[in-house]
Amino acid sequence: MTGAPTVSDTPWLDQDGQKPLVQIKGVTKKYGDVTAVDNVDLDIYQGELFCLLGGSGCGKSTLLRMLAGFESLNGGSITIDGMDMADVPAYERPTNMMFQSYALFPHMSVEKNIAFGLQQDRVPKNDIVDRVHDILTLVELQDFKKRKPQQLSGGQRQRVALARALVKQPKLLLLDEPLAALDKKLRKQTQFELANIQEKVGVTFIVVTHDQEEAMTLSSRMAVMDAGRFQQIGTPTEIYEFPDSRFVADFIGSANFFEGRVTEDSSDHVRVQTDVAEVYIDHGQSVLVGSKIWVALRPEKIQIVKTDEPVSGPNTVNGVVDDIGYLGETSIYKVALPNGQIVDVTAPNQSRPTSETQRITWEDKVAISWEPSSVMLLNS
């Protein structure tokens, strides 16, 4: 707006002006008859924290190992910073990897583990000392530099592994399940730490994880992977709020699914008739009128009220409370609809129930409803 075009802070959202750091084109990996990675395309930009999310065996780790140079490609190409990686062995790539097992050298101290990569590059001795010191300060392990890996706790080892991979200032840092070996509390704390460190050093991170919460917290963008293919690529918000497919909607968070037939499609709204109610969606999405389609609703986006009155109209339906799960901060209500389908509804417990009469309980007649903007239309 102010004259000369500036470099965007978030090039992945403004993809026209930027050259991607990593270009993955038609990459395929086969093990015998099994296709681990199936013809995938992906661009990753400088400064991103990109998460590859998927269940075990979905091909996410294979893709990461191909980026690192540990696996050969059966098809396609990988370009990092404009350079084709086809004939570049792992030891010459501008990438570093943090292994799931950390793979720290057990016969070397923390200090020597971290210095190892710099020694390979023939960095002068004084520089090595300085850089090891700086990175140890960053991960807050200055006092442990003489220790051997087996004398450290799990969390400390994780930080040594991160420091060892970061100290070479790679163009691209690959992290294979970086937090999987930590216990739950430490994992949550480390998630934010990891994102902070990434912001500080500005290195592009690609993180492989099976933990959707981890992916949502860490990533600037993420790809949901299944059966060797990307199901959807986008920011965490896009993936959560606007999933493309039933698989993604189901994989990320939980969702209630309704099958229906499109009755009206215009530029600003869509109507879908389902078994239980008419669904009105206040955003346009090109769908074929008359076609069968799935709509999905997140449990927290459904309101629940206690009522005996029958309701009518779009985006609302009567039901009976079948089961309740009290989780403290929220409650999950399993509501049986007239057609027998059970819908999950979560509601925050914003105040203590003052009297038994106000509280929704088993077998209560209720009405559920949702905002027209909350409905997710699934294409496939």
Judged by the rule CB under 8 A, the positions of this chain that interact with other proteins are 68-70, 89-93, 95-97, 99, 101, 103-107, 109, 116-117, 120-121, 148, 164-165, 168
Distances from the Cα of 23 to the Cαs of 40, 109, 141, in angstroms? 11, 36, 35
**Closer residue to other proteins in complex, CB, 105/362:** 105
**Closer residue to other proteins in complex, CB, 163/281:** 163
**Closer residue to other proteins in complex, CB, 101/189:** 101
Listed in sequence order, the residues at least 6 apart from 115 whose beta carbon sits closer than 8 Å to its beta carbon are 128, 132, 167
Would you state the structure tokens that stand for residue 153, as one six-digit string?
């706790």
In the complex, least distance from residue 366 CB atom to other proteins, rounded to whole angstroms: 53
**Closer residue to other proteins in complex, CB, 107/352:** 107
In the complex, least distance from residue 282 CB atom to other proteins, rounded to whole angstroms: 50
**CA 297, 300, 302, 307 torsion-angle sign:** positive
Nearest CA to 223 out of 42, 25, 34, 37 is that of: 42
**How does DSSP assign 151-193, residue by residue?**
GS-HHHHHHHHHHHHHTT--SEEEEESTTTTS-HHHHHHHHHH
Distances from the Cα of 91 to the Cαs of 96, 119, 276, 324, in angstroms? 9, 13, 59, 56
In the complex, least distance from residue 256 CB atom to other proteins, rounded to whole angstroms: 42
**Closer residue to other proteins in complex, CB, 104/223:** 104
In the complex, least distance from residue 150 CB atom to other proteins, rounded to whole angstroms: 11
| 60 three-class SS | helix
In the complex, least distance from residue 154 CB atom to other proteins, rounded to whole angstroms: 16
In the complex, least distance from residue 109 CB atom to other proteins, rounded to whole angstroms: 7
Q: Residue 124 burial (CB < 10 Å; 0-12/13-18/19+)?
A: exposed
| Terminal CA-CA length for the chain | 39
**Closer residue to other proteins in complex, CB, 61/315:** 61
